[in-house]
Structure 1
Amino acid sequence: MDTINHTGIRYTVFHLLGIPGLEDQHMWISIPFFISYVTALLGNSLLIFIIITRPSLHGPMYLFLCMLAGADLVLSTTTVPQALAIFWFHAGEISLDRSITQVFFILSTYICESGTLLVMAFDRYIAICYPLRYTTILTNSLIGKIGVTIILRSCSTIFPIIFLLKRLTFCRTNIIPHTACEHIGLAKYACNDIQVNVWYGFSVLMAAVVLDVVLIFISYMRILHSIFHLPTQDARHKALNTCGSHVCVIILFYGPGIFSALTHRFGCHILPHIHVLLVNVCILAPPVLNPIIYGIKTKQIRDQVTYNLFPKIT
């Protein structure tokens, strides 16, 4: 399981503890985790099914929403089953290669979702600022290229982290007080210098997520400028309503993530179990709530969900 080299012990297997300090409450904590995961699976799968099977929903906005739902499924499935295995069966053992794989999928999916939110903001910008050219600009060909670009950007940005982690020798401890593996959370147990990991992780955050947030903000400034120049109150209200779901999802995605990052960097006195719970909220909240938000605020999706669930009533 563990191998010995000239520097001493080199851990190749780690043990995830779950939520540190709350081990005796794991069975109770697993209940909201399980309910949230099932909700995320059903909600996002239903959303993808409806969008794929209904030709009327093959427009740009819905195709981007389908991409977002797919990213939510991958993000939640990468982490929650592992957490439930720890809570239910104390199965926290995880190999180094599996840990690095989990880190890769968590980070790449997060960046993929961030990129999807950016193109959804671009979609709303085109729809409101250039409504007559909407279908000619956002063609299916362009949407396909955007989707491939988002995936390639996500994977190529995070791919170097695999090698940055593989080069490390883990000899401090193999006990990780968490439900999942994080990049720096794993690297800090190495005996090597991890400054490259720290700075690369920071660069990824700045180059990908922060840049996406800035571009989304610029898009919505342009959108708001166009909305307030519309001739009637009804037109302004309709335009704002089309952006409402997306704004809610943006806040839900970036809000907890920024708060968690700040507590991780500067919250020295925050208890470990609080940080772990915040990380899990960041991972679970968007997949659970995104389908609900779009289902409630988007009439076309709401009608299709009602038709699929209650066909006799409709």
Structure 2
Amino acid sequence: MSELQSLKKAELNEICHRLGIHALSKDTKKVLIDKVTEYIAKNGDAGVEAVQAALDAEIDDTETLTEQVEAAVAAAEAEEDEEEEGDDEDAEEKDADYQEGPPLDLKAYIVDPAIQFYEDSLAKVLELTDSVGITSVDINGELRENLSKSVTLNFLELVVEFGFYLYYFVPLVAIKNNESIHQIFKDNISFLAESDFEIPDISALFAYGPLATFSSWLIIAVIAPLIASYYINFTRRLITFEDDTEFFARIYTSDPFTFALSKLLFFYFLATSYHKDFSKSEGFFTFVFNHLILHQDYFQKFATVLGGFPIVIGLANVLVAIYSQFEEY
């Protein structure tokens, strides 16, 4: 039967099942055709009619399946058309409700950038204030820590005394007469040669009187107290580590208490001691003695300018240094 050649393997397999022919899924199309042909040969005309009936039934099933598929496809297309019509109606309704905005969107071009600029500026201001606040807190904490030390107070006393020294010996002189400005600048710059504006004349510090006063103050207020506080040092403490290791150490190289006390005593006795007359003898020792008397005279004049400041501040520093001896290290 020529119709068998046009059938697919699955269709031939189905015909074999209809005819009761034993067929396996691994059988090829040629094997299935041979089995059907063998069935016809055994059964004669009855076999031909049975094969034809099975073939017609298979064709009917195929046509029925095709019709069902076509019906399902048609239903799906109809449903899709209905959905498209509904979407078109919704789009038309939205188009009818849409109101066209102004030709220039002020919110997008003006309002939003202005708000963003304000927020960015505010963030930068807040960041700046935070950094300033943190920095001021750190500076205040460090300043408080330093001012709470007797060493710092002794140093501040020396700074103030040196400020008195500059105020006393450095005069204000007009620029045109100020010797601290070299003559070569006055010859080439007319403003310097004609200006009456007064500025400090630091050249006055190089005269013998200011130099003698500074050297005397440096020895009495700085060098002598440093030497005394280095050798008489009460800042020895027992240092204990976590592993129970202990050793003695000095907190300061120069004891702030001894420095303040010795400075106070040196200043008091030398500033208030009796002024001796110059020696009229000759020789090296007489030369040294007379210069010491001269330096003492300059220092006593400077002490008069300072007044009671070194005494009062010196006593305060001594008391602070005594109090700080009880500090826990």
TM-score bucket (shorter structure)? under 0.3
The structure with the largest alpha-carbon Rg is: 2
For normalisation by structure 2, the TM-score amounts to 0.22
For normalisation by structure 1, the TM-score amounts to 0.23
